[in-house]
């Protein structure tokens, strides 16, 4: 929490919040608050959504609605993100019957209105990806081709190495793990969760010894206990191949 607060303070330092052009900073701070809450405190996430709703009621900027849609789509999956013992549950393994369909419907409606303005921004693109995941009744029905297309849009907007990393996963699902690994080869290995993505793609490709090594490496690099424990369980599942 302290690190995120410090990051928010750096974003706000020397910034006049009454000056034009500050909306992007406000949105980044709101998303930082939401993500902090999403990882632990329900109150923080709910407060971030409340503030973003208020902001959306006072501006016609599509990126505000894009961020609100993104928050709601993530929030809709909150109940399924952890198991009975508090363990992390990856998206593909989540019980989709626990997803809040009311929030998903609201989010998709908000996103469609934002996209209709034809002023695409990164939050709208992220929300479109989240909406495609939410639209799939099972992981097998996920429209990975469309998701890759939205990651391409997001890359054009941000050129972010994290986006390139996530795109490699989507490419692996759409076109096969070998193609996903080729996309991953173009991503800096120091990007957070690179080893976890490598592990998943190697496992999908049938290279279990490499997958086991990468899961163990990812666990060593994990920055929070839930993620580390999940990765250790994945490594243990393949321990015979270490």
Task: Give the residue extent of every domain in the chain.
Answer: 1-10+21-135, 143-242
Q: Tell me the per-residue pLDDT of 161-181, one tens digit each, with 9 for 90 and over.
A: 999 999 999 999 999 999 999
Q: Please state, in angstroms and as integers, the Cα–Cα distance from residue 106 to each residue in 18, 49, 71, 78, 120, following that order.
A: 31, 13, 11, 16, 19
Place 22 in a pLDDT band, splitting at 50, 70 and 90. confident
Q: How confident is the model at residue 42 (pLDDT cuts 50, 70, 90)?
A: low
- In this prediction, residues 48-70 reach a mean pLDDT of 96
pLDDT at 39: 64
User: How far apart (Å, rounded) are the C-alpha atoms in residues 136 and 94?
Assistant: 12
Write down the CATH number for the domain with range 143-242: 1.25.40
pTM greater than 0.85 (yes/no): yes
Residue 96 burial (C-beta neighbours within 10 Å; 0-12, 13-18, 19+):
middle
**CA 28 to the chain's CA centroid:** 15
Q: Is the pLDDT of residue 17 over 50?
A: no
**Average pLDDT value over all residues in the chain:** 91
Q: What is the DSSP letter of 234?
A: H
């Amino acid at each position: 929490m302290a690190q995120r607060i410090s990051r928010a303070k750096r974003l706000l330092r020397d910034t006049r919040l009454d000056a034009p052009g500050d909306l992007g900073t406000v949105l980044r701070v709101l998303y930082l608050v939401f993500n902090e809450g999403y990882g632990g405190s329900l109150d923080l996430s709910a407060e971030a959504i409340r503030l973003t709703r208020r902001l959306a009621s006072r501006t016609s900027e599509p990126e505000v609605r894009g961020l609100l849609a993104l928050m709601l789509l993530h929030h809709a999956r909150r109940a399924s993100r952890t198991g009975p013992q508090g363990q992390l549950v990856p998206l593909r393994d989540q019980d989709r019957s626990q997803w809040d369909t009311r929030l998903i419907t609201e989010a998709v409606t908000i996103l469609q209105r934002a996209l209709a303005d034809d002023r695409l921004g990164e939050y709208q693109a992220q929300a479109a990806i989240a909406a495609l995941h939410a639209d799939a009744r099972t992981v097998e029905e996920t429209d990975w081709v469309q998701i890759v297309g939205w990651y391409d849009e997001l890359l054009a907007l941000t050129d972010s190495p994290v986006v390139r990393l996530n795109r490699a996963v989507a490419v692996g699902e759409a076109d096969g793990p070998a193609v996903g690994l080729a996309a991953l080869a173009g991503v800096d290995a120091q990007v957070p969760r690179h080893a976890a993505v490598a592990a998943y793609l190697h496992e999908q490709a049938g290279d279990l010894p490499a997958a086991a090594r990468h899961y163990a490496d990812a666990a060593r690099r994990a920055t929070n206990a839930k993620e580390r424990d999940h990765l250790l369980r994945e490594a243990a599942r393949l321990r015979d191949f270490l």
